[in-house]
Amino acid sequence: MIAEEKTYKGHTIEIKYDENAESPREWDNVCVFHIGHSRYSFGDKNYNDRESIDKAFHEAKNNGDVVLPLYMYDHSGITISLAPFSCPWDSGQVGFVQVPRKEFVAEFGKKRFTPKLKAKALEWAKNETETLDCYLRGDVYGYVVDNDGDSCWGYYSIEDAMREAESVVDWIVKEAKKKHCEQVKIWIKNKVPFQVRTSLKEALEV
């Protein structure tokens, strides 16, 4: 399904939904998503009872880890956020996001969990939550250039997919100009008349 389409420098760019996107929780992540829900299990650790997730929560807190409540809105699809949703009926806390303190400190080669590093951990949790939210909402995209030309998938915003597609077109145009200049040099070297060069150029562009 096409999400957006445009013509850029004479080339067609189609931004399509990535229907086979890989869950970002399969990647090498820093955060740990703990989910306690009877019907959804999109976390790194999923629980069927309140006692188990409460135990995991207190263990993380006792370790000095960053622990943030995770909220979900469930209505014709789900979306998640580190901030609560305004709807009291279809939303609520679904679990928590943990940033393990020791692992995070080691990741940056530090010895202490400084306030600056803690702020970075909060930002990291925010970014991983937003990425997972895109996946859950189906907001993952790919681009196709000229219908069946260059393509790539797994972009978590239309803007990122479009920028990458435009850079591919820029490269295609640059290479085409380079090849044209090289061909013109060969024609000039071989003393091909200008009128003939023009006809040959038009034939090559067909």
Residues 38 and 93 in one domain: yes
pLDDT digits (tens, 9 = 90+) for 16-63: 999 999 999 999 999 999 999 999 999 999 999 999 999 999 999 999
Domain boundary residue, one of 104, 137, 170: 137
What is the gyration radius of the CA atoms in the chain, in angstroms? 26
Residues 161 and 200 in one domain: yes
Number of structural domains, the chain?
2
Domain boundary residue, one of 137, 159, 188: 137
Please give the structure tokens belonging to residue 122: 């909060």
Residues 90 and 180 in one domain: no
Phi, psi angle pair for 95, to nearest 5°: 165, -150
Residues 173 and 73 in one domain: no
Please give the pLDDT value at position 197. 44
Task: Give the list of residues 6+ apart from residue 8 with CB closer than 8 angstroms, or none.
Answer: 165, 166, 169
pLDDT digits (tens, 9 = 90+) for 80-102: 999 999 988 899 999 999 999 99
User: What does pTM read for this prediction?
Assistant: 0.80
> Is the pLDDT reported for residue 190 higher than 70?
no
Residues 76 and 151 in one domain: no
Q: Residue 16: name the closest of 183, 142, 162, 113 by CA.
A: 142
pLDDT > 70 in the chain, percent: 86
- CA angle in degrees (0–180, nearest 5) for 129-135-138: 140
From CA 146, how far away is CA 5, in angstroms rounded?
Answer: 11
